[in-house]
Chains A and B, each alone.
Chain A
Amino acid sequence: MTALQRAIRHPEPVWGFADRSPVDGLDRRSLGFLDVLAQSVSAVAPSAAATTIPLLIASAGGAPVWALASGMLIALLVASTVNQFTKRIAATGSLYTFVSRGLGRTASFVTGVALLVGYGFISMFALAGAGYYLQILLGDRWPALSTPLAAGVLIVAMAVLCVLVLARGIRVSTRVTLLVESVSVLIILVLVGTLLYQNGSTVDWSVLSLAGSTPATFAVGAALALTAYVGFESASTLGVEARRPFATIPRAIFRTVIMAGLLYLVASFSQVVGFAGLGRGISSSTSPVNDLAAAYGIGGLGHLLDVSIAASFLACAIASITALVRVLFSMGREGLLPSAFGRTHARYRTPFVAVVVAVPVLTAALIVTIAISGGVWRAMEILIVGAAGGYLTAYMLACLAAPVFLQRIGELTVWPLMRAGAAAVLLSVVLVVYLVSESTTDRYPGVWVFLAVMLLGITLYLVRHLRRPWLRHMVGIYDVPVGADVLGAVDAFDTAPSRQADVPPRLGRPAAES
């Protein structure tokens, strides 16, 4: 009889596995691969980015296709590094939890604030975007709707919709967002196909030349391009809810970057070629895709595209808030935020309290931003800068934490170390270049808002930490296998299921102290 046969016939008792996971209460192990993929794809909102980012890059003096290609390279490095965590930890706190396992609680908190800024600002950006495009569409038909007040009402209406979808259950929200995003991408591909077909025999490959760009404009272009990919890691907030998290989440993250990248390359190439065919530059247009559609005689598709972009923004808002509330949920369970944030809805099994608190706060902040900045589009420009700053900071810290984490659990090898190192260096260059270059444009308030919010968040953390020093034992909870998953597990915690058993019981050899 082999050891395996013996283990199956007469399982050795295994202690140390609790009856319940510390993140108990969510709909554990309920989402398939498509749902997880939908979360990442919608958070990236590839169709909205594919129609807007090439213009942004071209206006900053960069070469869109090359910038998006280098952005994809950096995003792939980051994705493979983040996946070192997602293959091993199933959490709802995403990078916030991951960094705590590598660099400890202070770095983890900075990551948490950065991630909340990223998800929060992008949610506001997407809500505003959905309102903006919806207003354009409805304004064509009913001109009375073109007032700022109407925009505010539309945004509030969509925020209410978000609350309903998010509270109703994770499966509803991922299915809705996947459908919406697939339709938008399809419309873009039809547009791209038409453009390339009409330009077929006369494609001027010299549009890809890098002549005229300097290292500085290239770096700015790459930084802007990277903002088109951010959000791909958000599937990692579904660590508890995914059915086979260690298989589906890494795959979803990687494929999101690949698919978004290919779409961006094709879309930016066709936009550059399309404008070259018209004899003008892409940056001469304010709405390149609509202009192209009109110039190539498919203006009707342009309107359809507006609908799909509005829908894509809404999907992005839902996905980003999904990720945001799961990070808040983690912090609530750990005691960093009031414990109400860690409460779940008994029937729908969603972090209900976090949704009900977060969405009104985000909506109010968005409306104040619009009122101060004097326009929806202007507010969006400011918000996207803050969001990008948050994401890039969180990614950079995660890349620094990955090798330390792997070393701690004794699984560090050469290639992951090299990739994490390269990603960390490139990200810090991109972050600095991005913030410096944005601070010289008219989007400079975004940079200051980002820095101010980060500073505020870290100050609040320090204050709370001084008042409650015991919190340091409570950072970085994740889903642990419960007794039901382990062969021969003994109910060690049957009598006292400690919901916040943060310092996990040790097994085998003592683990590295975090």
Chain B
Amino acid sequence: MSAAGSAAGLHARQPKAIHSALTVLEEVARCGAGITARQISDNLGLPRATAYRLLNVLVQDEYLVRTPDLSGFALGRKVVELANLVTPPTARPPEAVRAILDRLRGGIRGGIHLVRYEHDGLRVIDPDPDFPPSDRAVILARLDASAMGRLLVNERSRGAASAVLGQIHASGYASQVDEITAGYGCIAIPIRDRAGQLVAGLCLCAPRERIEHPDDLVAVLRRGAEELAPLLA
């Protein structure tokens, strides 16, 4: 369900439930992977049925995952995205980086954003002031929809195959069309450090035709990314 849909379903009774849900997450973090539903309900003094229902909701939303034997729980990657969503934004990137970005923005029509990947999440550190990126909440709710998210998903998947990731392997960059805003799409070029670790991404958002036929745009962005790499890694 979309972020707007779940927000609309929020009732006055729910703050208590949200509090309990966060307590459950905290407890899983404290005890470590493998803690069972019964242990959580005992530790927190929650009624069994309530604890089980909360756990199932958290599993549904992938903040928790069940361990392979189904009886235990571990924190899901999604808690990181939740955390990145609420932490304060970092300082703007250094002057040298902004100079390169300004030059790229001057030469290409479309929104150019710089994204940083850290703590297993993504953060837009220099959004294009003229074409602001889509709502961060939307991007984070479905990582596999945005080009910048797909780079991260690809990085995590360590070679597991799917149609979307196949495209990244083939072309060396991620792209999406129509997934977030109809008629528009996005290209994300990975920026890696010398060890090959994904540290940042250079994204171009533009109307659909330009994303589907990027021609020499990709080459320009790649050169930009190469210049940025030593400054960001």
Q: A14-B74, A30-B162 are in contact. Are A4 and B29 (CB under 8 A)?
A: yes
Map CB proximity to B onto A464-483 as digits: 1 under 8 Å, 0 otherwise. Answer: 00000000000000001111
In the complex, the chain A residue whose C-beta lies closest to that of B72 is A508
- Counting CB contacts under 8 A, is B62 at the interface? yes
Interchain Cβ contacts within 8 Å, total number: 146
B66–A88 touching, CB < 8 Å: yes
Q: A14-B74, A491-B158, A511-B71 are in contact. Are A3 and B79 (CB under 8 A)?
A: no
Residues in chain B near residue A509, CB distance under 8 A: 34, 36, 71-72
Residues in chain A near residue B60, CB distance under 8 A: 87, 244, 246-247
Partner of A14, one of B33, B162, B163: B33
- A224-232, A371-379, A409-417: which one contacts chain B? A409-417
Residues in chain B near residue A419, CB distance under 8 A: none
A9–B83 Cα distance when bound, in Å, is 10
- Counting CB contacts under 8 A, is B216 at the interface? no
Residues in chain A near residue B22, CB distance under 8 A: 4
A3–B157 Cα distance when bound, in Å, is 26
Residues in chain A near residue B37, CB distance under 8 A: 409-411
- B8-16, B48-56, B100-108, B195-203: which one contacts chain A? B48-56
B76–A487 touching, CB < 8 Å: yes
Q: B63-114: which have CB < 8 Å to A? A: 65-72, 74-77, 79-80, 83
A415–B69 touching, CB < 8 Å: no
A29–B83 Cα distance when bound, in Å, is 23
A28–B69 Cα distance when bound, in Å, is 20
A7–B69 touching, CB < 8 Å: no
- Counting CB contacts under 8 A, is B26 at the interface? yes
A485–B49 touching, CB < 8 Å: no
Q: B22-66: which have CB < 8 Å to A? A: 22, 25-27, 29-30, 32-38, 48-49, 52, 56, 59-62, 65-66
Q: A318-352: which have CB < 8 Å to B? A: 349
B49–A33 touching, CB < 8 Å: no
Residues in chain A near residue B33, CB distance under 8 A: 12, 14, 16, 486, 507-508
Residues in chain A near residue B27, CB distance under 8 A: 3
A7–B25 Cα distance when bound, in Å, is 10
A28–B162 touching, CB < 8 Å: yes
A507–B158 touching, CB < 8 Å: no
Residues in chain A near residue B32, CB distance under 8 A: 12, 14
Partner of A16, one of B26, B36, B67, B77: B67
- Counting CB contacts under 8 A, is B156 at the interface? yes
B163–A4 touching, CB < 8 Å: no
In the complex, the chain B residue whose C-beta lies closest to that of A487 is B75
- Counting CB contacts under 8 A, is A6 at the interface? yes
B29–A508 touching, CB < 8 Å: no
B75–A483 touching, CB < 8 Å: no
- Counting CB contacts under 8 A, is A24 at the interface? yes
B68–A507 touching, CB < 8 Å: yes
Residues in chain A near residue B62, CB distance under 8 A: 244, 485
Q: A8-B119, A88-B70, A413-B48 are in contact. Are A485 and B76 (CB under 8 A)?
A: yes
Interface size range on B against A: 35 or more
B68–A505 touching, CB < 8 Å: yes
Q: A2-B26, A508-B36 are in contact. Are A19 and B69 (CB under 8 A)?
A: no
B160–A87 touching, CB < 8 Å: no
In the complex, the chain A residue whose C-beta lies closest to that of B73 is A508
B52–A411 touching, CB < 8 Å: yes
- Counting CB contacts under 8 A, is A233 at the interface? no
In the complex, the chain B residue whose C-beta lies closest to that of A19 is B158
A424–B117 Cα distance when bound, in Å, is 51
A11–B119 Cα distance when bound, in Å, is 9
Partner of A487, one of B52, B69, B80, B160: B80
Give A359 Cβ to nearest chain B Cβ, in Å: 24
A11–B30 Cα distance when bound, in Å, is 11
Partner of B30, one of A3, A482, A487, A505: A3
Residues in chain B near residue A511, CB distance under 8 A: 69-71
In the complex, the chain B residue whose C-beta lies closest to that of A506 is B69
Residues in chain A near residue B79, CB distance under 8 A: 4, 7-8, 487
In the complex, the chain A residue whose C-beta lies closest to that of B60 is A247
A349–B37 Cα distance when bound, in Å, is 35
- Counting CB contacts under 8 A, is A109 at the interface? no
A508–B35 Cα distance when bound, in Å, is 6
Partner of B49, one of A7, A29, A413, A505: A413
Q: A28-B162, A409-B70 are in contact. Are A487 and B77 (CB under 8 A)?
A: yes
A3–B72 Cα distance when bound, in Å, is 18
Give A332 Cβ to nearest chain B Cβ, in Å: 19
Map CB proximity to A onto B141-159 as digits: 1 under 8 Å, 0 otherwise. Answer: 0001000000001001110
- Counting CB contacts under 8 A, is B1 at the interface? yes
Residues in chain A near residue B69, CB distance under 8 A: 504-507, 511
Give B177 Cβ to nearest chain A Cβ, in Å: 16
A16–B119 touching, CB < 8 Å: no
Q: A6-B29, A16-B67 are in contact. Are A486 and B74 (CB under 8 A)?
A: yes
Q: B163-211: which have CB < 8 Å to A? A: 163
B120–A487 touching, CB < 8 Å: yes
Map CB proximity to B onto A1-39 as digits: 1 under 8 Å, 0 otherwise. Answer: 011111111011010111110001001111001000000
- Counting CB contacts under 8 A, is A365 at the interface? no
A19–B68 Cα distance when bound, in Å, is 12
Residues in chain B near residue A349, CB distance under 8 A: 162-163
Give A352 Cβ to nearest chain B Cβ, in Å: 15
A483–B160 Cα distance when bound, in Å, is 11
Residues in chain A near residue B26, CB distance under 8 A: 2-4
A60–B38 Cα distance when bound, in Å, is 49
A87–B59 touching, CB < 8 Å: yes
- Counting CB contacts under 8 A, is A50 at the interface? no
Q: A351-398: which have CB < 8 Å to B? A: none
- 12 example contacts (A-B, Cβ-Cβ < 8 A) are as follows A3-B26, A4-B25, A12-B32, A33-B1, A246-B59, A411-B38, A413-B52, A481-B74, A485-B76, A487-B120, A504-B69, A508-B71
Interface residues of A (CB under 8 A from B): 2-9, 11-12, 14, 16-20, 24, 27-30, 33, 87-89, 101, 244, 246-247, 349, 408-411, 413-415, 480-488, 491, 504-509, 511-512
Interface residues of B (CB under 8 A from A): 1, 22, 25-27, 29-30, 32-38, 48-49, 52, 56, 59-62, 65-72, 74-77, 79-80, 83, 119-120, 144, 153, 156-158, 160, 162-163
Given contacts A487-B120, A504-B69, 12 further A-B contacts (CB under 8 A): A8-B79, A8-B119, A14-B32, A88-B70, A101-B70, A246-B59, A481-B68, A485-B76, A486-B75, A487-B76, A488-B75, A507-B72
Closest 6 CB pairs of A and B: A508-B34, A504-B68, A247-B60, A511-B69, A3-B30, A7-B29
